Structure 1
Amino acid sequence: MSSTPSRTYEPTPARKVAFLGLGVMGYPMAGHLARAGHQVTVYNRTATKSIAWCADYAGAGGKNHAQAATPREAARGADIVFCCVGNDDDLRAVTLGADGAFAGMEPGAIFVDHTTASAEVARELYRAARTLGLQFVDAPVSGGQAGAQNGQLTVMCGGDLAPFEAVRPTAMAFSRAFTRMGDSGAGQLTKMVNQICIAGLVQGLSEAVAFGMQAGLDMPLVLDVIGKGAAQSWQMDNRGKTMVEGKFDFGFAVDWMRKDLGLVLAEAQRNGASLPVTALVDQFYGDVQRMGGNRWDTSSLIARLTK
């Protein structure tokens, strides 16, 4: 049974696409492409994931989908190659070299990278793609595992206008918003802004909830009340009460947040931005890792304050 919930897709011309990386995000994202009627070939470093995906989505969208042994094989003949892997090195591994996707793509084909990576690697691969007559769009996402499963991701893109516009109708199969932010690297930089905001919000919410619990307040009631005022946020609405309950088994893990904040802090060193709160919260996430919370949701920052 497929893990992708049903949703309504806008009619778009069917495209031949590839999807590289079938983790908690990529697996349902590729599924939405299949259900929207696109012909999908998938690649994953662990082949059992690709085999399982093909079984889950057999016949979805009226197409017979396939799996490939290498990124190059997956990309062969694809109009668009989507990708969602772990980090800069993983991204280079699936794009470059004899078995990389770039080697299998035809001139004019578009590579869309949904990995949260550095702006530096986005620009590097943009240049490499253009040299080969290919197009490259950096397109990190926000919305977490639930957004991927529901096809409601917010996608922030960097790259040339023409490939962005060509990709957008297809990518809306898993997106609620798909927006060009500027030239190559702008998508990754926008995602960094997103993570800076989240880090500060979650720490503030953690301190507020811990304070209220220490004061003996009925915190679910407190959150209901203040959530109707200026303190309201997505984090409060979706994580406040589970933080009170000490439940951290959601999609976006502390390990991933630390990777993202590492990218943020490295970019800040390059551009001279001052990020004292972000740097401090990154250290706090290190404390959570030392507590054994590597795979806990990012809202687990409160665990430092209530242990």
Structure 2
Amino acid sequence: MPSTNPRSYDSIASRKVAFLGLGVMGYPMAGHLALAGHEVTVYNRTAAKAVAWCEEFAATPAPRSAATPREAATGADIVFCCVGNDDDLRSVTLGSNGAFAGMKPGAIFVDHTTASAEVARELYAAAKAQGLQFVDAPVSGGQAGAQNGMLTVMCGGDADAFAAVQPVGMAFSRAFTLLGSSGAGQLAKMVNQICIAGLVQGLSEAIAFGQNAGLDMKQVLDVIGKGAAQSWQMDNRGKTMVDDKFDFGFAVDWMRKDLGLVLDEAKRNGSRLPVTALVDQFYADVQKMGGNRWDTSSLIKRLK
């Protein structure tokens, strides 16, 4: 659910929108759209969650749930989506009950799933063939960013479609940026995950080293966090790593899915990613330890 902290929404014309997928990210993202004054229809594979969402946001303009993606998309100006993977995305877009079958000509599908650039281009072409528009728009910021309406959104697609959705998407974002043609958003998210993988492993090694050396690592993090070593991971995960707490945040299973996309794309474009490939295997070790749902900062568990 969105944060209870007060948030101001830019005053823009109310739009009729749909949101497909009410997981830990989609649920609060759809909520911010409703709180911003848009008419939101939601679809979720588990229908009870869609009903619960409508009850929670009953005071907003015309919230309703739909039985299929097609029903949710019917009449919508913009259809937002945040599901699990490429196959999930195809299942809610294509076919007789998919969103594309219900969307009106010129409507825009905005996909916030972290998926492959390949599926983004595939669905962009499929949408175009039906007189629709498609923007790939994966997000960064995690569950907290979704709840607080402070996500960073990386987009690929046509400039006119992006311009139409950007003011609406700012309801749950602090940055919503077009980075290139179809697939560019997904490729940028891969860059993001490469950076995170290396940072978390470095931070894990540093904290484990400091603890073995007998240092007060919370004090050390306070000091070095004011210098060149500072990072979002250090600020937000360093002390919980010291405390051996990982029951929150971005799950290891999700990170391995994302890094799988990265490594597949690297094979296609000829990139050499030795550190990323190694960290992916370290996350496999964490999964074997039972840490599938632990936060990505649990890499440090391998070192203790």
TM-score by length of 1: 0.98
Query: Whole-Å Cα distance in 2 between the matches of residues 44 and 275 of structure 1?
Result: 36
Query: Whole-Å Cα distance in 2 between the matches of residues 179 and 250 of structure 1?
Result: 28
Query: Whole-Å Cα distance in 1 between the matches of residues 204 and 174 of structure 2?
Result: 28
Q: Secondary structure at the match of 1:17?
A: strand
2:247 matched to 1:275? no
Q: Secondary structure at the match of 2:23?
A: coil
Residue 3 (structure 1) shift: 4.5
- Give the equivalent residue in structure 2 for 1:253: 251
- Give the equivalent residue in structure 2 for 1:292: 290
Q: Secondary structure at the match of 2:22?
A: coil
8 Å contact from structure 2 (residues 23, 83) kept in 1: yes
Q: Secondary structure at the match of 1:274?
A: coil
- Give the equivalent residue in structure 2 for 1:206: 204
8 Å contact from structure 2 (residues 2, 149) kept in 1: no
Query: Whole-Å Cα distance in 1 between the matches of residues 232 and 287 of structure 2?
Result: 24
- Give the equivalent residue in structure 2 for 1:169: 167
Query: Whole-Å Cα distance in 1 between the matches of residues 142 and 247 of structure 2?
Result: 13
Structure 2 counterpart of 1:133, one-letter code: G
8 Å contact from structure 1 (residues 154, 177) kept in 2: yes
8 Å contact from structure 2 (residues 2, 29) kept in 1: no
Q: Flag structure 2 segments of 5+ consecutive residues without an equivalent.
A: none
Q: 1:220 aligns with which of 218, 221, 231?
A: 218
After superposition, residues 191-202 of structure 1 pair within 5 angstroms as: 191-202=189-200
Q: Secondary structure at the match of 1:41?
A: strand
For residues 181-201 of structure 1, the C-alpha deviation after alignment (integer angstroms, 9 at most, x for no partner) is 000000000000000000000
8 Å contact from structure 2 (residues 2, 146) kept in 1: no
Structure 1 counterpart of 2:238, one-letter code: G
Q: 1:128 aligns with which of 126, 129, 132?
A: 126
After superposition, residues 94-173 of structure 1 pair within 5 angstroms as: 94-173=92-171
For residues 37-64 of structure 1, the C-alpha deviation after alignment (integer angstroms, 9 at most, x for no partner) is 000000000001101100110022xx12
For residues 132-184 of structure 1, the C-alpha deviation after alignment (integer angstroms, 9 at most, x for no partner) is 00000000000000000000000000000000000011000000000000000
Query: Whole-Å Cα distance in 2 between the matches of residues 21 and 251 of structure 1?
Result: 19
- Give the equivalent residue in structure 1 for 2:177: 179
2:301 matched to 1:303? yes
Query: Whole-Å Cα distance in 2 between the matches of residues 29 and 37 of structure 1?
Result: 13
- Give the equivalent residue in structure 1 for 2:84: 86
Query: Whole-Å Cα distance in 2 between the matches of residues 163 and 152 of structure 1?
Result: 22
Query: Whole-Å Cα distance in 2 between the matches of residues 302 and 249 of structure 1?
Result: 14
Query: Whole-Å Cα distance in 2 between the matches of residues 135 and 102 of structure 1?
Result: 10
8 Å contact from structure 1 (residues 4, 31) kept in 2: no
Query: Whole-Å Cα distance in 2 between the matches of residues 95 and 64 of structure 1?
Result: 23
Query: Whole-Å Cα distance in 2 between the matches of residues 140 and 209 of structure 1?
Result: 31
8 Å contact from structure 1 (residues 113, 137) kept in 2: yes
Q: Secondary structure at the match of 2:7?
A: coil
Structure 2 counterpart of 1:154, one-letter code: T
Q: Secondary structure at the match of 2:179?
A: strand
- Give the equivalent residue in structure 2 for 1:31: 31
After superposition, residues 34-53 of structure 1 pair within 5 angstroms as: 34-53=34-53
Residue 230 (structure 1) shift: 0.5
Sequence identity percentage: 80
Structure 1 counterpart of 2:147, one-letter code: Q
Structure 2 counterpart of 1:140, one-letter code: P
The alignment of Structure 1 onto Structure 2 pairs a total of residues equal to: 303
Q: Secondary structure at the match of 1:156?
A: strand
When structure 1 is superposed on structure 2, of 105-114 and 248-257 the one drifting more is 248-257
Q: Secondary structure at the match of 1:173?
A: helix
Residue 249 (structure 1) shift: 1.7
Q: Flag structure 1 segments of 5+ consecutive residues without an equivalent.
A: none
| RMSD of aligned residue pairs (Cα, Å) | 0.6
Query: Whole-Å Cα distance in 1 between the matches of residues 110 and 90 of structure 2?
Result: 13
After superposition, residues 62-81 of structure 1 pair within 5 angstroms as: 63-81=61-79
Q: Secondary structure at the match of 2:171?
A: coil
Residue 250 (structure 1) shift: 1.8
Query: Whole-Å Cα distance in 2 between the matches of residues 176 and 4 of structure 1?
Result: 15
- Give the equivalent residue in structure 2 for 1:57: 57
